[in-house]
Amino acid sequence: MSWMAGLMFVVVCLTLLAGYPVAFTLGGVALLFGLLGNLLGVFGFSELLAMPSRLYGVMTNETLIAVPLFVFMGVMLERSRVAEELLNAVAVLFGRVRGGLGITVVLVGALLAASTGIVGATVVTMGLLSLPTMLQRGYDPAVATGTICASGTLGQVIPPSIILVLLGDVLSSAYQQAQNSMGIFAAETVSVGDLFVGALLPGLCLVALYIAYLLWLAWRRPQAVPALPAQTRAELGRDGLARLLLAGLMPPLLLIVAVLGSIMAGVATPTEAAAVGAFGAALLAALRRQLSLQALREVVENTTRITAMVFLILIGASIFSLVFSAYGGDIAVHRLLESLPGGVFGAMVVVMLVMFLLGFILDFIEITFVVVPIVGPVLLTMGLDPVWLGVMMAINLQTSFLTPPFGFALFYLRGVAPPEVETRAIYRGAIPFIGIQVAMLCVLAVWPGLATWLPEQIYGG
């Protein structure tokens, strides 16, 4: 009855395209197929008895506590106007260079990614703050919008990213399952911290490649990325510039160093580091006099809303994977991937292509909870490194969210862009950055050490 599992997956995709909520679609379709299978005599409701223990495992998973803490950190930093001051400070620093405002957007996007880890929030924030200025200064609309969308998606890869927290937890279970299936019961483990450290170098490489593209564009098409007038920097003077950089740049940098540094030094787990980040963001807002009782209430409400959405999707995905496995779907996927031409390379290409296409209709949370538990154990059984696999998946999803016509980042920016900015300009601007993303995937495929070297150096293999 493995064909029932395939049919269930197709029905879920069609239902999502019809606009139904993801969490209820996953759980509802799974329960309907469970009822249908029971009527056909091929599915017993006893299969669902494992559901309470799964949910209890989610409730007691310390790693997932990092999710609301990182969300709180990101929402609090948005509320404290860190992005606005950061953008102003870096713009003054690089504004005199052709393409300097674009470089500013990339650097600020990377810092916000490391601070918030929420793609939609970063794209919308950067769109509201920087797009009007870039257009006013004569930037080509396609270049401006493409830079903002690409910079906003860096939150997928640069730690501490929420997707890396969720992906690390799922891959940890998949890695243990893969080793058990191979008869290795003293299993090695992979943690969220491993994935954070593994994603750091590829994420910084992407930032460097974005900047290199903008500098090349400034050389080839200088009229598309003009420099800012020099009078702003002259008016500030050396002391004023130093104060602006100190106030706008240092606080978020210190917060990022505190969070990532504590993880990389082995002083704190990702969950403990997330608590440090949440406290630091609240302290930063208080020092900027942005932390009123009303503001705190709004931050807590937004954090609760996002966290509830994440965990509700996790519950729906757990029900889906339970019924999918009961129909033998995981075994069918295993056999399919093993039978593909090209061995592990062919299986990896197919999985990455499927995840890329699913990124058009599903958010990273649904893909992480639904697809990765199915394909992860199979790929890891084939000998792939879990950290490398996680980084490849994260960059692949980042590319999917940037690709026209369905990329989520493009929709986010379209929602806040001025009417005079055409949608085709947004699509056209994203294409060069998609090429950079694909090139990064190819580099990682040829040189896995880019993702695995740093964890090996820090954690000893």
Percent of the chain surpassing pLDDT 70: 92
With cut-offs at 50, 70 and 90, classify the pLDDT of residue 116.
low
From the number of C-beta atoms within 10 Å of its C-beta (0-12, 13-18, 19+), residue 317 rates as buried
CA end-to-end span of the chain: 42
Q: Is the pLDDT of residue 92 over 60?
A: yes
237-261 mean pLDDT:
75
How far apart are the C-alpha atoms of 393 and 243, rounded to whole Å? Answer: 41
Sorted by sequence, the CB contacts under 8 Å of residue 67 that are 6+ apart come out as 162, 165, 166, 307, 310, 311
- Total structural domains in the chain? 1
With cut-offs at 50, 70 and 90, classify the pLDDT of residue 201.
very high
Q: Is the pLDDT of residue 15 over 90?
A: no
Percent of the chain surpassing pLDDT 90: 15
126-146 mean pLDDT:
86
The pLDDT of residue 205 is 93
Q: Is the pLDDT of residue 95 over 70?
A: no
The pLDDT of residue 177 is 82
The answer to whether 106 touches 211, Cβ cutoff 8 Å, is: yes
The whole domain housing 127 covers: 2-459
Q: Which amino acid is at 396?
A: N
54-58, 190-194, 300-304, 432-436, range with the lowest pLDDT = 54-58
Q: Which amino acid is at 247?
A: A
263-286 mean pLDDT:
85
Over the range 414-426, which residues count as b (16 or more CB within 10 Å of their CB) and which as e? Answer: bebbeeebeeebb
Q: Among residues 58, 29, 15, 53, which one has the least CA distance to residue 327?
A: 29
Q: Work out whether the CA dihedral 403, 405, 406, 411 comes out positive or negative.
A: positive
Q: Is the pLDDT of residue 119 over 70?
A: no
118-122, 172-176, 374-378, range with the lowest pLDDT = 118-122
DSSP per position, 252-296: HHHHHHHHHHHHHTTSS-HHHHHHHHHHHHHHHHHHTT---HHHH
Give me 88's structure tokens.
């102003």
Sorted by sequence, the CB contacts under 8 Å of residue 443 that are 6+ apart come out as 205, 450
The pLDDT of residue 80 is 76
Instruction: Tell me the residue ranges of DSSP E strands in 101-165.
Output: none
Q: Which amino acid is at 236?
A: L
- Count the alpha carbons within 13 Å of 167 in the hemisphere toward its beta carbon: 30
Q: Is the pLDDT of residue 192 over 60?
A: yes
Tokens 């590319």, located at residue = 399
Tokens 């139904």, located at residue = 20
Over the range 113-142, which residues count as b (16 or more CB within 10 Å of their CB) and which as e? Answer: bbbbbbbbbbbbbbbebbbebbbebebbbb
How far apart are the C-alpha atoms of 259 and 277, rounded to whole Å? Answer: 6
Q: Which amino acid is at 332?
A: A
CA diameter of the chain: 80
From the number of C-beta atoms within 10 Å of its C-beta (0-12, 13-18, 19+), residue 298 rates as middle
> Angle at Cα 191 formed by Cα 71 and Cα 161, nearest 5°?
25
The pLDDT of residue 173 is 85
User: What average pLDDT is seen over the chain?
Assistant: 82
